[in-house]
Amino acid sequence: MAKRSKRLPQMIARGFEIILKSIPADALVNQTGAEEAIQRYRVRPDNHLTSAFSDLLQEINPCIDSKKLQEADVDIALLQVKADLKSWSFQ
């Protein structure tokens, strides 16, 4: 059985919060829905399972109009996630 990570789900949720703040407003078609999906994921007792992550992606995907995103938008969002995660301790 895989070891349950308590921190990884919180890091995933934080990463998605940063991504939502980073992408252009016109690409985020349902900000409230995306934020609620992240909150539900955070408090799920099984959020360490792949199925919970899959559910999160399925809920967030319709909230973002990917056709309005440019490659640079995605690059900026991922760089901001990377910078934020550097402040986390992995010990």
> Residue 62: its pLDDT value, please?
97
Q: Is the pLDDT of residue 65 over 80?
A: yes
Q: Quick check: helix, strand or coil at residue 88?
A: coil
- What average pLDDT score do residues 43-52 get? 93
String of b and e for 4-36 (b: at least 16 CB within 10 Å)? eeeeebeebbbbbbbbbebbeeeebeeeeebbe
pLDDT tens-place string over residues 71-87: 999 999 999 999 988 88
- CA 5: distance to chain centroid? 17
The model carries a pTM of 0.84
Q: Is the pLDDT of residue 89 over 90?
A: no
For residue 24, report the phi and psi dihedrals to the nearest 5 degrees.
-60, 145
Q: Does residue 81 contact residue 19 with C-beta atoms inside 8 Å?
A: yes
Per-residue pLDDT band for 4 (boundaries 50, 70, 90) equals low
